[in-house]
């Protein structure tokens, strides 16, 4: 984990615990001896790609630094129903305080990782990378995108700040593709930004316009809602002078057809917004 990821994760954990615990876990405080230790095991209840084990460890350590965390599975492992992912030993109050947050995060992350792995396997024989999008849950993007990575996918831009991405509304508001390219390139130079410029195209004519006016300025052309045949035509025009990305209406049923065109990247918002949470449970036992 790099330093930026770690600091963002710690902030997420603190905010999530504050939201859940509030003035105190009164259900536990009323009946649990604060000095009593316990163990809990994370049980997998359906086949999946497990994700969030390292995050769970961070959560327990955040609440009780002396907690003992033993992982049986690591992030990205294929898990089957009945397996144990980890065991934690800590104060029972700590286990109960962390339980729901750990489960919520791991169930969500494992669902995304599992779906991403399904998509990735379909196109594994092609020289094409699958990307996520910004269609994420507010304030949870960090871990949703981490789950995509764990599942074998690749992260697109994290936010509005790490890529200039000129989409349809930008182009329409700005006054067209050529004008938008010039303004974006000038802005990048003026502000000394080392970020890529990607531009969305909606037709073969727009692809031709980018190829004519974007050389040395645009890094990637997005082909939005193109059919596989249209993508093949566009790729012949682009002639490998720009990176290429297919987007829009792509699912498990048709993604291989898109990958077979020779496109460099395929972005799929469904990796995150269509993922189903995996069934997991945290089972406690006394020490």
| DSSP one-letter string for 257-275 | HHHTTT-SEEE-THHHHTP
pLDDT band at 205 (very low <50, low <70, confident <90, very high): very high
pLDDT tens track for 263-281: 999 999 999 999 999 999 9
Which residues, other chains included, contact 71 with Cβ-Cβ below 8 Å and sequence gap of 6+?
A: 53, 57, 85, 86
Separation of alpha carbons 194 and 30, rounded Å:
55
Mean pLDDT of 19-42: 96
* pLDDT value, residue 287: 65
pLDDT tens track for 243-263: 999 999 999 999 999 999 999
* pLDDT value, residue 55: 98
Structure tokens at 21: 């615990």
Share of the chain above pLDDT 90, in %: 97
pLDDT band at 2 (very low <50, low <70, confident <90, very high): confident
* pLDDT value, residue 73: 98
pLDDT band at 23 (very low <50, low <70, confident <90, very high): very high
Separation of alpha carbons 19 and 13, rounded Å:
10
- Asked if residue 75 lies in contact with residue 53, where contact means CB atoms within 8 angstroms, the answer is yes
Two domains, one topology: 3-119+276-286 and 121-273: no
Instruction: Report whether pLDDT(20) > 70.
Output: yes
Structure tokens at 143: 């871990």
Could you say which of 3.40.50.720, 3.40.50.150, 3.40.50.10310, 3.20.20.70 is the CATH number of the domain covering 121-273? 3.20.20.70
Separation of alpha carbons 134 and 141, rounded Å:
8
pLDDT band at 1 (very low <50, low <70, confident <90, very high): low
- Asked if residue 136 lies in contact with residue 144, where contact means CB atoms within 8 angstroms, the answer is yes
Residue ranges of the domains in the chain?
3-119+276-286, 121-273
Structure tokens at 267: 């972005």
Q: Looking at domain 3-119+276-286, what is its CATH homologous superfamily?
A: Quinolinate phosphoribosyl transferase, N-terminal domain (3.90.1170.20)
pLDDT tens track for 106-153: 999 999 999 999 999 999 999 999 999 999 999 999 999 999 999 999
C-alpha angle 266-133-173 in degrees, rounded to nearest 5? 100
pLDDT tens track for 47-104: 999 999 999 999 999 999 999 999 999 999 999 999 999 999 999 999 999 999 999 9
Main-chain phi, psi angles of 31, to 5 degrees = -135, 0
* pLDDT value, residue 122: 98
pTM: 0.95
């Amino acid at each position: 984990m790099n330093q930026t990821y770690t600091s963002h994760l710690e902030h997420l954990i603190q905010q999530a615990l504050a939201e859940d615990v509030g003035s105190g876990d009164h259900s536990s405080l009323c009946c649990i001896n604060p000095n009593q230790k316990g163990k809990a095991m994370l049980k997998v209840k359906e086949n999946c790609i497990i994700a969030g084990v390292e995050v769970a460890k961070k959560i327990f350590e955040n609440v009780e630094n002396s907690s003992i965390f033993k992982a049986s599975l690591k992030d990205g492992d294929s898990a089957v129903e009945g397996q144990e992912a980890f065991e934690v030993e800590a104060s029972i109050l700590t286990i109960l305080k962390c339980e729901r947050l750990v489960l919520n995060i791991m169930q969500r992350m494992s669902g995304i990782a599992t779906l991403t792995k399904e998509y990735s396997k379909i196109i594994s024989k092609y020289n094409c990378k699958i990307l996520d999008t910004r269609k994420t849950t507010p304030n949870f993007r960090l871990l949703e995108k981490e789950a995509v990575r764990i599942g074998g996918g690749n992260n697109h831009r994290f936010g509005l700040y790490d890529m200039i991405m000129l989409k349809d509304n930008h182009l329409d508001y700005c006054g067209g593709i050529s004008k938008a390219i010039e303004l974006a390139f000038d802005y990048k130079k003026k502000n000394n930004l080392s970020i890529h410029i990607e531009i969305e195209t909606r037709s073969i004519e727009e692809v031709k316009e980018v190829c004519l006016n974007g050389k040395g300025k645009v890094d990637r052309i997005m082909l939005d809602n193109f059919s596989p045949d249209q993508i093949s035509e566009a790729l012949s025009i682009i002639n490998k002078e720009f990176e290429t990305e297919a987007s829009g209406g792509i699912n498990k049923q048709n993604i291989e057809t898109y990958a077979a065109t020779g496109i460099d990247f395929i972005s799929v918002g469904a990796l995150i917004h269509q993922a189903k949470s995996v069934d997991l449970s945290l089972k406690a036992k006394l020490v």
